[in-house]
Chains A and B, each alone.
Chain A
């Protein structure tokens, strides 16, 4: 009837789902040693067959074995199968505690096997499992239904819908049902399904609808399908633009973090610090060290290492920055071009120092659990948690700096020295010390930027080099003297970059942004927010 092919995976799923329904009333089949062996050894196709047989009517032992295999906790040795779970090693067939013998091999699970295991588990967990598991199982089923809808799934879905279900799981199953019913014999049901699918937001539904429109005979259903398709496409387009805006804001927040410190020091001292990237790198390495310390001494609190790392990163970069200022930059006051060169030399020394201390390789920074994964809004807009947190973090840092500059005494002095150094000195402000503090503040912010960057990119001695040109551009574009300029420049550049990247690719986007800045500066040399007059 239908012209497409059935991948064997879907066949298996249908088979085991069908059997699950059929045999659910029959007594469960006990797991034998042969069954267990057939599941863990041999060719993948045979193992999937064995899985289907077991999943048809699994007893407690078989279900446990299937779960353990999906979690890669199964070993085999000379015909005996072991599960190493949280409560120790057990024999898979009897469930009794056992000793894991020398030379026990891990059972190999490849992608295909894993997919089949997930399908079997979804079938198992659909009825009578805890809500979280039900949601996952329903989502897996929904995904399969969208990929390759099969009318054989219907009985199981309807049975599940009849019983106790978590709300989110129910919604997923209703969508799955609609996808499956799209090809039903009954026109009324088809119409119902077409309308229901208008609420789906997954892009994979689109080919499904298109296919059905081609096959459909009834005009009414066709119209409903077209409407649903239009709604879906509108939503997809809108979400695509929102996704681009989000990635632009995310990039902008990173640029802001990286450039904020530089803007402060440049506004205050007219010093462009070429070692700024290395201060970012030091913050990132500090985060890594905190992570290592937590892993070693406080493994239970590992997820919170990031919170502890923030002050550490700030302080370490601030101290290095203060040291740089006191030892080198102070003596080059009034010679900004030489400061450029001297700080470039410092950056080389810092990079090589880190290389000698920690090796030239990148170091691995693991994300804490709450930074991994993503949240899905509006159906298919996936926003990764780490980027969301970084945007929030950048906002917090900005707020903190703004408050510092506008409400504290140090901030007052910094503003005073920026606006008019000699008069501030006449007022009794120790400008040299303010220089050091401001430089330390700017460096500390760079350290915080490094802390954030360690979560999304590599941490290696060359980390700073990738962000230095961007930081300069933000500062040059944003102008000097006001933080608002840096904010607008950073966000603007981020969004602009991402939008151009959408249709021209990453490299051309970057080049376009650089050329734009070069041209903009010709027209308005003082940047967006001019604080001082025409002083370059």
Chain B
């Protein structure tokens, strides 16, 4: 009895060791892909789903034979919503794990804290979230929207007849760089359209703020001066929920004071009772409710993946949103670029990324600009439906090219539309 057990144990050990060798030998034939998204902490709510999107895309690519015959191997790290940890993990991915590319970051702080690492070590980062622009690094590809691909078309819509012909604007945001910069750009834009500063109210609340009574009272007062008022909300994260609840309870309907949000997507509406919010707006480059074959395929794939991997929340009610679509486009474009460059060398891939196209779930053929590392994106304005999805009420006629250095910020005069060699 003892002997046979000991023998089994030995055999198992040998097998495991051999297997491990085999695996490591096999592992040398994979291309490592880094995933740098917070899986714990405050940003976990938003970022975990992006990690899963990358894993799903990798599975899909591997099933089709991988990249240049090699399988992709994901290396997932958790920077835990801690900005210094982001930089540390990025360095770890690039130097210890030697990944070929990293998909990651959500907040601008996290991106700014890893940027020096990527530039120092010549790494490659794909950043999938809408942001404030004012940055253009050779080592980063920005698959999210720049302000002119989200904020400005949204405000134009609000000023149009269909959007309610708004003449007064409340710029309400969370206090950090994205809302501040976006509002600066919007103010300049509104001034250029003849809206004076007295018709613009700018307010900021801290992260995690949940008591919006006073702000709603201010908005009510501001909007009852005789001109049609609209609210442009750059409130981030779960502060949106108490904001909308308070808005609904105060009786501010979308037909009176429409609110367009830039950080509220399908995922953020998951925890909200959307009946009082019907008619309020969001501006994105993708909505789950857009009907076209590419999006059907994408949403079906995601639903199946979420069920198979038992992802909490998504296994029962799978939702897709704009950053997920941007991640999906990014990783597919990277794959195409590697195959075009026939190598994973960062400089070659960067060169091969220029002009890449991909049939995006949003219905357009997405294109990576030749020079400025941003995607050309169409802008969609959606109204909240009672079931938490969005009705697309307007879209740009075609894809819009990004302007990372906004022309509405005077200090940007003379900036080139491509990364500057440092």
Task: Give residues in A with beta carbon < 8 Å to B.
Answer: 7-8, 44-45, 72, 108-112, 114-115, 118, 147, 202-204, 206-208, 211, 240, 243-244, 247, 250-251, 352, 355, 358-367, 372-374, 376, 382, 384-387, 456-460, 462, 466, 498, 501-502, 505-507
Q: Which of B20-28, B208-216, B411-419 forms contacts with chain A? A: B208-216
Distance (whole angstroms) from the CB of A450 to the closest CB of chain B: 14
**Option from B40, B210, B246 in Cβ contact (under 8 Å) with A466:** B210
The answer, yes or no, to whether B113 is at the interface (CB within 8 Å) is no
The answer, yes or no, to whether B225 is at the interface (CB within 8 Å) is yes
Q: Which among B213, B241, B393 has the highest number of chain A CB atoms within 10 Å?
A: B213
Q: For A114, what are the chain B residues with a Cβ–Cβ distance below 8 Å?
A: 254-255, 279
Do A112 and B238 touch (CB < 8 A)? Answer: no
Known contacts being A458-B242, A460-B238, is A111 close to B254, with CB within 8 Å? yes
Do A364 and B271 touch (CB < 8 A)? Answer: yes
Q: For B241, what are the chain A residues with a Cβ–Cβ distance below 8 Å?
A: 362, 457-458
Residue of A nearest to B312 (CB): A359
Do B273 and A366 touch (CB < 8 A)? Answer: yes
Residue of A nearest to B394 (CB): A110
Known contacts being A44-B162, A506-B214, is A207 close to B206, with CB within 8 Å? no
Do B221 and A203 touch (CB < 8 A)? Answer: yes
Beyond A360-B40, A386-B245, 17 additional pairs, beta carbon < 8 A: A45-B161, A108-B391, A202-B224, A204-B226, A207-B225, A240-B217, A243-B213, A359-B312, A360-B312, A365-B271, A372-B273, A374-B249, A374-B251, A382-B251, A460-B238, A502-B214, A505-B203
Q: 4 closest pairs, A vs B, by CB?
A: A359-B312, A207-B226, A364-B271, A384-B249
Do B255 and A111 touch (CB < 8 A)? Answer: yes
The answer, yes or no, to whether B98 is at the interface (CB within 8 Å) is no
Do A361 and B249 touch (CB < 8 A)? Answer: no
Do A458 and B270 touch (CB < 8 A)? Answer: no
**Option from B42, B217, B246, B393 in Cβ contact (under 8 Å) with A243:** B217
Q: List 8 A-B contacts (CB under 8 A).
A: A108-B391, A108-B393, A110-B393, A112-B164, A114-B255, A206-B225, A365-B271, A505-B203
The answer, yes or no, to whether B44 is at the interface (CB within 8 Å) is yes
Known contacts being A110-B162, A111-B164, A362-B271, is A385 close to B249, with CB within 8 Å? yes
Q: For B121, what are the chain A residues with a Cβ–Cβ distance below 8 Å?
A: none
**Option from A45, A363, A507 in Cβ contact (under 8 Å) with B206:** A507
The answer, yes or no, to whether B386 is at the interface (CB within 8 Å) is yes
Task: Give residues in B with beta carbon < 8 Å to A.
Answer: 39-40, 42, 44-45, 48, 161-165, 175, 203-206, 208-211, 213-215, 217, 220-221, 224-226, 228, 238, 241-242, 245-246, 248-251, 254-255, 258, 267, 270-273, 276, 279, 281, 312-313, 383, 386, 391, 393
Distance (whole angstroms) from the CB of B295 to the closest CB of chain A: 16
**Option from B175, B221, B224, B254 in Cβ contact (under 8 Å) with A507:** B175
Residue of A nearest to B268 (CB): A362
Distance (whole angstroms) from the CB of B233 to the closest CB of chain A: 16
**Option from B45, B215, B272, B391 in Cβ contact (under 8 Å) with A360:** B45
Q: For B255, what are the chain A residues with a Cβ–Cβ distance below 8 Å?
A: 111, 114-115, 118
Q: For B249, what are the chain A residues with a Cβ–Cβ distance below 8 Å?
A: 372-374, 384-386
Q: For A372, what are the chain B residues with a Cβ–Cβ distance below 8 Å?
A: 248-249, 273, 276
Q: For B215, what are the chain A residues with a Cβ–Cβ distance below 8 Å?
A: 506
Q: Whole-angstrom distance between the alpha carbons of A387 and B226 in the complex?
A: 29
**Option from B205, B270, B279 in Cβ contact (under 8 Å) with A364:** B270
**Option from B165, B205, B210 in Cβ contact (under 8 Å) with A457:** B210
Q: For B221, what are the chain A residues with a Cβ–Cβ distance below 8 Å?
A: 203, 240
Distance (whole angstroms) from the CB of A474 to the closest CB of chain B: 16
Q: Whole-angstrom distance between the alpha carbons of A459 and B45 in the complex?
A: 12
Q: For A373, what are the chain B residues with a Cβ–Cβ distance below 8 Å?
A: 249, 251
Do B206 and A458 touch (CB < 8 A)? Answer: no
Residue of B nearest to A254 (CB): B211
Do A112 and B161 touch (CB < 8 A)? Answer: yes
Residue of A nearest to B385 (CB): A72
Do B245 and A456 touch (CB < 8 A)? Answer: yes
Distance (whole angstroms) from the CB of A129 to the closest CB of chain B: 20
Q: For B209, what are the chain A residues with a Cβ–Cβ distance below 8 Å?
A: 506
Known contacts being A44-B162, A373-B251, is A466 close to B44, with CB within 8 Å? no
Q: For B279, what are the chain A residues with a Cβ–Cβ distance below 8 Å?
A: 110-111, 114
Q: Whole-angstrom distance between the alpha carbons of A71 and B270 in the complex?
A: 22
Q: For B203, what are the chain A residues with a Cβ–Cβ distance below 8 Å?
A: 505
Q: For B45, what are the chain A residues with a Cβ–Cβ distance below 8 Å?
A: 360-362, 460
Q: Whole-angstrom distance between the alpha carbons of A502 and B228 in the complex?
A: 24
Q: For A363, what are the chain B residues with a Cβ–Cβ distance below 8 Å?
A: 271
Q: Whole-angstrom distance between the alpha carbons of A348 and B281 in the complex?
A: 37
Residue of A nearest to B381 (CB): A110
Distance (whole angstroms) from the CB of B296 to the closest CB of chain A: 13
Do A501 and B214 touch (CB < 8 A)? Answer: yes
Q: Whole-angstrom distance between the alpha carbons of A206 and B223 in the complex?
A: 12
Q: Whole-angstrom distance between the alpha carbons of A363 and B271 in the complex?
A: 5
Q: For B251, what are the chain A residues with a Cβ–Cβ distance below 8 Å?
A: 373-374, 376, 382
Q: Whole-angstrom distance between the alpha carbons of A372 and B204 in the complex?
A: 26
Q: Whole-angstrom distance between the alpha carbons of A456 and B228 in the complex?
A: 28
Q: Whole-angstrom distance between the alpha carbons of A488 and B419 in the complex?
A: 59
Residue of B nearest to A143 (CB): B256
Q: For B228, what are the chain A residues with a Cβ–Cβ distance below 8 Å?
A: 7
Do B213 and A247 touch (CB < 8 A)? Answer: yes
Known contacts being A111-B258, A114-B255, A240-B217, is A360 close to B44, with CB within 8 Å? yes
